[in-house]
Structure 1
């Protein structure tokens, strides 16, 4: 596990008017940085210290290696399937998250990361030059996949490292504390948009008023909710508005969990909602969750 700073440069994310949200991905001995918008810093590592009360965001996902880290994931980390069997959509890749006992499929041009890779956003107002804040973030998920990590190149915090913004990222996470699958879906959808694309602004977030019942192709029942940002105040040249969808459900252990996807909107090559719905339809339970 990489033990360096959760983002490069050691600067306060809130100190630079052009700051972009960043993600630092950590998978076993390999680490990859993923930047994501203009809100908070996007952190990839552990799964503790998360807050899901954020409600909205302004960020983007990109990839460059932190100092002292390897800018790639091991071959085993990138392998699709991982004992999950064949994809339910012919030609797609299987994405497994043993922690929550889930699996889903993505098109072949997505990058499937290690199941242990955690992607999450830091708080743009927090001072991450202070060690006590390292590893703390607003929201995070694991069992992640990244779509087109080439949307925009920028060194917004001027730390000498160029980050490439991703078009979309998906994964799954726990949702304990929610009142049910509907509450879980609403919380997660709003939180990813806020953390990744609008923070500290909340007024530009538009979301479903209530989650809708949804059943995936495997028969997994739960609730789905969407959220988007519209005309969010932006300063960084790589900033965009964003969208997120979350599917809340109970895994085989009875725990509340959520499958989530967030992505940039209004950009060339934006991930179509139709593709998102097709991916969502493949979400299914897989094995016994390792998360207690």
Structure 2
């Protein structure tokens, strides 16, 4: 995309483009979500080498642990899916877990996951795409917002299932519009991976 930045995850051999305002993190950077009640912070889901939009969009200590946490407006990254039985399962679970972990905890019932659909990127990668949204997040915390996630899972040339995911705040003035999310998704492509 002209004027956009290219994000590369060399370990997974995945690249995609994001609009200029997005910030690129290092290839070793990992973003993840965990159960708020889990002292071990075992990741529910995560991705690496992400791009983040407005990293300090909202800052608060909503869980009351004494640490100020930043809520970004949106982020996107990629990962391997060694446990997924299919690209459809990987896409659906990625989208659901990101929305639950980032926005809806502890209310799983506030997350709605849409139907999984086939999708082909501009470079010809075919896979499965799913979108999940949260509705009715109570807003007791200063940074409590509804969110959405779109995940695209596909098989790489080695036959491994990998995925790309967008996650962002929903229902606010500067929400990333759906056509932009789809445009970013359309740029997902394969690049040489590093062993």
In 2, the alpha carbon distance for the partners of 1:137 and 1:248 equals: 19
Deviation at 1:154, TM superposition (A): 2.0
Q: Among residues 157, 169, 192, which one is paired with 2:75 in the alignment?
A: 169
The aligned counterpart of 1:151 is 57
Q: Is the contact made by 1:153 and 1:165 (CA closer than 8 Å) also made in structure 2? A: yes
Residue in structure 2 matching 1:284, options 184, 189, 192: 189
For residues 281 and 91 of structure 1, the distance between their equivalents in structure 2, rounded to whole angstroms, comes to 16
Q: Which structure has greater strand proportion?
A: 2
After TM superposition, give the deviation of residue 182 of structure 1 in Å. Answer: 1.2
Q: Distance in 1 between matches of 2:91 and 2:11?
A: 19
Task: Give 1:138 shift.
Answer: 1.3
Residue 153 of structure 1 and its aligned partner are, at CA, apart by 2.8
Q: Is 2:43 the counterpart of 1:137?
A: yes
Contact 2:130–2:152 (Cα < 8 Å) also in 1: yes
**Partner Cα separation in structure 2 for residue 217 and residue 119 of structure 1:** 26
Indicate the residue corresponding to 1:104 in structure 2: 16
CA apart distance, 1:158: 6.0
- Larger of the two Rg values belongs to structure: 1
Task: Name the counterpart of 2:4.
Answer: 92
Aligned equivalents of 2:83 and 2:92: distance in 1? Answer: 13
Quick one: distance in 2 between partners of 1:164 and 1:184? Answer: 27
CA distance, structure 2, for counterparts of residue 90 and residue 248 of structure 1: 25
Q: Match of 2:179, SS?
A: helix
Counterpart of 1:249 (choices 154, 163, 181) is 154
1:162 Cα deviation after fit? 3.8
Picking from 174, 192, 195, the partner of 1:269 is 174
User: CA-atom RMSD, angstroms?
Assistant: 1.5
Q: Contact 1:252–1:288 (CA<8 Å) still a contact in 2?
A: no
Count of residue pairs the alignment pairs up: 194
Task: Name structure 1 gaps, 5 residues minimum.
Answer: 1-88
Q: Deviations over 1:250-274 (max 9, x none)?
A: 1122110110010001112011111
- Per-residue deviation, 1:244: 0.2
Aligned to 2:30: 118
**Secondary structure of the residue that 1:276 maps to in structure 2?**
helix
* Counterparts in 2 of 1:220 and 1:289: CA distance versus 1, 3 Å: farther
Q: Normalising to structure 2: TM-score of the pair?
A: 0.93
> Quick one: distance in 2 between partners of 1:230 and 1:289?
40
Q: How does 1:69-88 map to 2 (within 5 A)?
A: none
How many Å apart are 1:125 and its aligned residue?
A: 1.7
**SS of alignment partner, residue 138 of structure 1:** strand
Offset from partner CA, 1:191-227 (integer Å, 9 cap, x none): 111111112111111111x311100000011010000
**Paired residues of 2:137 and 2:144 also in contact (CA < 8 A):** no
Offset at residue 289 of structure 1 (A): 5.5
Q: 1:195 aligns with which of 101, 108, 129?
A: 101
